Homo-oligomer: A and B are copies of this chain.
Amino acid sequence: MSDPALPYRPHDHDACVAQALADARSICKAHNARLTPIRERVLELIWQSHQPLGAYELLAALANDGRNAAPPTVYRALDFLQQYGLVHRIASLNAFIGCAHAGACHTSLFLICRHCRNTLEISSSTVSAAVTQTAQAHRFVAEEAIMEITGQCPGCSPEHETQPHD
């Protein structure tokens, strides 16, 4: 599993990606689902980027691989990956990011830096409890929650006067 304890910090991202792919293979195996080359490659491309990737960026990357891909190819792979909880869609960006807690049941909150676009997935029990409670107070049966916070990450925050990282 990737290390959510080191947000926004430089780290051995190749290892991070490799781990995510290994996790994905094991999750798919457990569900008897086929992590085909295309699906695995899409997941890898998503993980290699710290910023959420759009479907058409993925498409371009696949074309770059020499692969013959059309929009449905990428959307189908993304559907599959979302279905097994391996990626999340960021609605405010029309883009996709690897799930940092794949395999675990979780409600996520995303911190999206509007400067460097780095996006951190957080599973906050405080927030999800507050949301659940609020929904219940309105007798609403919550099924899915989208929580996307846009702002500035520590590396891009003006008060620190540091270089934005990428």
Question: What is the interface of chain A, defined by CB distance below 8 A to chain B?
Answer: 7-8, 91-92, 109, 111, 113-114, 120, 122, 124, 126-127, 129-131, 133-135, 138-154, 157
27 residue pairs A–B, Cβ–Cβ below 8 Å: A7-B138, A91-B146, A91-B148, A92-B146, A111-B138, A111-B140, A114-B143, A120-B138, A120-B140, A127-B127, A127-B130, A127-B131, A127-B134, A129-B130, A131-B149, A138-B154, A139-B154, A139-B157, A140-B151, A140-B153, A141-B151, A141-B157, A143-B152, A144-B150, A145-B147, A145-B150, A147-B147
Chain A at the B interface: SS class: mixed
Q: Interface centre among A141, A144, A150, A153, by most B CB within 10 Å?
A: A141
